[in-house]
Structure 1
Amino acid sequence: MKCLFLTIFILTTAVSAYAQDYKATLAKMPIYAESAEKGVLVDLVKAIESQSGEKINLVIEPFARSLHNVVSGKADFHMPLIAIPGIDMTTLDYDYSTETIFHVNFVLYTKKGSNISIDKLQNSKVETDIAHLPYFNFPIKGSSNLELSLKKVSAGRIDAFIFADFASDPLVKKNNLTNIKRDLFKVYDVKIIIPKNGAGGKTDKFLSETISKLKANGTYDKIMGPIEMPYDNWQL
């Protein structure tokens, strides 16, 4: 009997030793991740968990804090973040995933009649989400409140705001900001963020393999389809 209990204990310990609980952190944004129960990326994380059989502990945080969770070692991966072609990765505190999870339209929001355009941003007052500051090659200030930044554009307090259409457009419509003009800034690949210098290699492999299975069985397209859309100039 003692031998039986010893065997069970050893087997249980071995399983526990190899079990992998992942910590995921998502940026709180409309459509993408509104709460731990609502959002396209929330559904994606739950599908990854279900497909893989691995436990994923999920938290929703403000964008900059969510990203910092990976940098500080508090999380295994963060979603989402745009990938800038040719960016010097040695200047960043994290690595991109191998997998591109979707594409995003970054939109330039300006006040109608202001004559602010993409080629005039160098000398303009522009804001973007604070976690995205390193991605622009002209002076730009960080924002921790997308809704407030769009209202500042509407009121003429800043010249422009640049961010993802799926996160920003619902706020334009919700607040009836009819004096805001929209122009496509750029279409970016969107990646998952993992720890730097190979520390996230195991997580990257896990995510790539699981997402490949979700794509093969159609689950991935069902979840991500609503945000994998071309730019819509809906103001016309």
Structure 2
Amino acid sequence: MKKKLSMLAAGALMVAALGMFGCSSGDPATQPTDNNSSANSTAPDNSAAANNDDAAVGGEIVLVNDGKLTVAASLDFPPFENLNTDGEAEGFEVDLMKAICDEMGLECNYLPSTKFDTIVPLISAGGKADVGVSGFTVTPERAKEIDFTDVIMDINQGVAVMKDSGITSVDQLEGKKIGAQSGTTGYEWALENVEGAEVLAFDEMTGVFAALQSGQVDAVAADLPVVQYYVLNAYQDAEVIAEVPTGEQYAIVVSKDNPALTKALNEAIAKLKADGTYDQLTQKWFGA
């Protein structure tokens, strides 16, 4: 049976992923260049200047609720966002969004958990949330619908199987069933890179791992820190067999109609990286 998730320290497994977190230089406004991007997700230039010209970003910030930054997230994506035992959102991106809001003088308002593959359309449509998070990889396809902030983290993909499966490498997944969260780069990677695989989509990561444990799928493909977290804290009868160097980059999702908000978020992110807050949050959620 699946154990109940708790936000434990990620420990040694998470330390292995730390090399890809944070900026690639000492300049807090410089985007990281180390890792994460699925095979079909080469990151475009996502700075505020790339998304909007100087005149456009000079406008007024528009918020769904005055004085609040309303955030849409899939709250089953630990250690980035998850609901704790009190039903409150917590995780690296949750803390980061709260710090950004403090910097901007806004209250951070998380909506109830939102299905991952509906967040980009929701932000694009406007009216319900100002920003979206949940480990959004910057991709050209998504950038057609929404704007991205500056990069907040570098990520690779990870693959997990049950310990008794006999599967020890990605090559052995040919023709197998692979589970992934709907709308994610993990789903796209498996679909495009594993010959003959049947890739099954699930609404939530908890469903993906439940399917692995029940034998509905032979493997799981998802962002490496998330795979590591689930294996370490909830599915200890599973194991990570591969880190796939996809070179993806996370950013915050913002409406194209709100360029001033994107600019303000980028300024807050740069300040948090400069004053050490970003590093403190990385240390808290991923270890030294």
Is the pair's TM-score, using the shorter chain for normalization, greater than 0.5?
yes
Say whether residues 1:42 and 2:42 are aligned partners.
Answer: no
- Give the Cα–Cα distance (whole angstroms) in 1 for the partners of residues 214 and 108 of structure 2: 42
2:265 to 203, 207, 216: 207
Aligned residue identity for 2:201: G
What CA deviation, in whole Å up to 9, does each residue of 1:132-151 have, x standing for no partner?
16743526331123233223
Could you tell me which residue of structure 2 aligns to residue 108 of structure 1?
159
Could you tell me which residue of structure 1 aligns to residue 250 of structure 2?
190
Q: Quick check: 2:73–2:132 contact (8 Å CA) kept in 1? A: yes
Aligned residue identity for 1:31: P
Aligned residue identity for 1:64: D
Aligned residue identity for 1:57: N
Unaligned runs of 5+ in 1: 1-16, 231-236
After superposition, the Cα gap between the structure-2 partners of 1:68 and 1:114, relative to the gap in structure 1 and judged at 3 Å, is farther
- Give the Cα–Cα distance (whole angstroms) in 1 for the partners of residues 166 and 125 of structure 2: 41
1:22 to 51, 69, 73: 69
Q: Which has the higher contact order (CA 8 A, sep 6+)?
A: 2
- Give the Cα–Cα distance (whole angstroms) in 1 for the partners of residues 258 and 166 of structure 2: 45
Could you tell me which residue of structure 1 aligns to residue 136 of structure 2?
81
- Give the Cα–Cα distance (whole angstroms) in 2 for the partners of residues 70 and 108 of structure 1: 30
- Give the Cα–Cα distance (whole angstroms) in 1 for the partners of residues 209 and 174 of structure 2: 19
After superposition, the Cα gap between the structure-2 partners of 1:227 and 1:131, relative to the gap in structure 1 and judged at 3 Å, is farther
Could you tell me which residue of structure 1 aligns to residue 50 of structure 2?
none
Q: Give the structure with the larger helix fraction.
A: 1
- Give the Cα–Cα distance (whole angstroms) in 2 for the partners of residues 180 and 95 of structure 1: 36
Q: Quick check: 1:146–1:168 contact (8 Å CA) kept in 2? A: no
Say whether residues 1:129 and 2:181 are aligned partners.
Answer: yes
Unaligned runs of 5+ in 2: 1-61, 193-197
- Give the Cα–Cα distance (whole angstroms) in 2 for the partners of residues 114 and 123 of structure 1: 15
CA RMSD in angstroms, aligned pairs only? 3.3
Q: Quick check: 1:104–1:228 contact (8 Å CA) kept in 2? A: no
- Give the Cα–Cα distance (whole angstroms) in 2 for the partners of residues 114 and 199 of structure 1: 50
Q: Give the structure with the larger strand fraction.
A: 1
Q: Quick check: 1:102–1:228 contact (8 Å CA) kept in 2? A: no
After superposition, the Cα gap between the structure-2 partners of 1:183 and 1:227, relative to the gap in structure 1 and judged at 3 Å, is farther
After superposition, the Cα gap between the structure-2 partners of 1:127 and 1:229, relative to the gap in structure 1 and judged at 3 Å, is farther
Q: Alignment partner of 1:140: what SS?
A: strand
Size of the aligned set, in residue pairs, is: 210
Say whether residues 1:58 and 2:110 are aligned partners.
Answer: yes
- The TM-score, its normalising length taken from structure 2, stands at 0.61
- The TM-score, its normalising length taken from structure 1, stands at 0.72
Aligned residue identity for 1:22: L
What CA deviation, in whole Å up to 9, does each residue of 1:138-196 have, x standing for no partner?
2633112323322332343212211123333333234443244431123421111122x
Please state how far the C-alpha of 1:117 moved relative to its aligned partner: 3.8
Could you tell me which residue of structure 2 aligns to residue 32 of structure 1?
80
Could you tell me which residue of structure 2 aligns to residue 71 of structure 1?
124
Identity %: 19
Rg larger in 1 or in 2? Answer: 1
